[in-house]
Amino acid sequence: MAVIIIEPVEAGAAWLAHALAGLDQRILRTSGADEAMGAIATEGREVMAAVVGSGLDDEQALTVASLLQQAAPEVAVVLLRERESGQMLRSALRFGVRDVLAASSDADSVRASVARAIELADSLRGRLAAAPGGARPGAPSGHAGEIITVFSAKGGCGKTFLATNLAVALAAGGTEVALVDLDLHFGDVAIVLQLFPTRTIQDAARERGLDAEALRSYLTPHHAGVWALAAPTEPPVADTVTASAVSTILKLLRSSFAYVVVDTPAAVTDQVLAAFDESDAIALLATLDVPSIKNLKLTMQTMERLRYPPSRIRVIVNRADSRVGLRLPDVEKVLGTSVDLTIPSSRSVPISVNKGNPVLLEEPRGNVAEAIRRLAAELAPSTAMEPAPPRSRRTLFQRS
């Protein structure tokens, strides 16, 4: 497998080659569009990614991106730019560019971005090959439970906050809800719900012949009616939870829970794609900043290429009242779609996180809780969504 560097300036090309050296990919250095297209022609499917250096100006860089998109749409393109204008970003997105990095980024950031792009390109190839031209299957029918996955490709947008509170909102009608922490390396569902799991998703994934009943024993109950499948406590073992184990676990959970909410890491991993495959609804989350909206747009493009039906997707802007420059209409224009739900910013969110008590229970009549209940009501029209009277936190499941 190979990565093409497109950089006319020798020093820049050498720096990039050095930055990407740890990726276990052949590095092919080229100085412009013609050489890069030549490399694509000779190397064919060996090429996983192309990195366009800042030695090309914006117009040249976009031309390369567009040529690559036409000739080899599965090659992930990453641009390094001196300046990131909104116009540049919009054009880059149109040409399917996976990431735009500041030219001043350090080697680790460039390597990490290209590694993510390669991982995604790899998954896309496998999946497009598996279902050439065909529509993605609808979420499995005839099942009892509904699976809702919360995702954003940028970290810190509020996925864990939304997933935990959505689970609590769905459980408010008395239904039992499962909550799966797929942030396998850094999952913090257990922390924000103040749970002390003794078993995790890694233990469940390891069990042979797992069935729905056995799976229950891996869940940690929360007094709000939510059953959490916690992330592994040791990040190195996280990779042992395969995508197929995730599919099996979600299928089993949907057979015994009315709702299964899935929290995710900020990257499209194979495990996340497995969750998308099983999901009836995918809540894509962003905040009102350019990197977040850029990542949301890329995610939507990826989902389109993988033929996930748009009807499954809900676009949600968190902290939508923050005055940080971007406005909702601008965001909708960039995304080419309307935002389904906005959630306001509130001090009660970090306070509730620090207390380990979901904001839905902490401040059930606040604006944040109301927005989340609206989402829950839309996803589960039959469930009662009135704010529940405050429950005693000292229940059967309470730890002293």
Ligand X SMILES: Nc1ncnc2c1ncn2[C@@H]1O[C@H](COP(=O)(O)OP(=O)(O)OP(=O)(O)O)[C@@H](O)[C@H]1O
Count of residues near ligand X by CB under 6 A? 19
Instruction: Could you list the beta-strand ranges (E) of 70-172.
Output: 76-81, 99-102, 146-151
Q: How far is the CB of 155 from Mg ion (least distance, A)?
A: 7
The reply on whether position 346 binds ligand X by CB under 6 A is yes
Distance CA(352)–CA(288), nearest Å, equals: 22
* Mutual angle of helices 86-94 and 290-305, in 10-degree steps: 10
Residue where the block lists tokens 């709000």: 224
User: Which position among 54, 113, 123, 160 is part of the footprint of ligand X (CB under 6 A)?
Assistant: 160
Please choose which of Mg ion, ligand X, none residue 350 contacts, taking the beta carbon within 5 to 8 angstroms, the exact cut-off set by kind.
ligand X
How far CA 203 is from CA of 193, 217, 229, in Å, comes to: 20, 10, 10
x/- letters, 160..199, toward Mg ion (CB under 5 A): x---------------------------------------
Please choose which of Mg ion, ligand X, none residue 44 contacts, taking the beta carbon within 5 to 8 angstroms, the exact cut-off set by kind.
none
HSE-up (13 A, CA, CB side) for residue 345: 10
Q: How far is the CB of 359 from ligand X (least distance, A)?
A: 8
Distance CA(313)–CA(335), nearest Å, equals: 13
User: Which position among 269, 271, 318, 383 is part of the footprint of ligand X (CB under 6 A)?
Assistant: 318
Sheet with 146-151, edge to edge strand ranges: 220-222, 226-229, 177-181, 259-263, 146-151, 281-286, 313-318, 341-343
The reply on whether position 312 binds ligand X by CB under 6 A is no
- Decide: 267 and 116 in contact? Cβ < 8 Å: yes
User: Which position among 7, 99, 181, 183 is part of the footprint of ligand X (CB under 6 A)?
Assistant: 183
User: CB under 6 A: which stretch of 54-62, 63-71, 338-346, 378-386 binds ligand X?
Assistant: 338-346
Nearer to Mg ion, 159 or 373 (CB): 159
User: CB under 6 A: which stretch of 44-52, 136-144, 331-339, 346-354 binds ligand X?
Assistant: 346-354
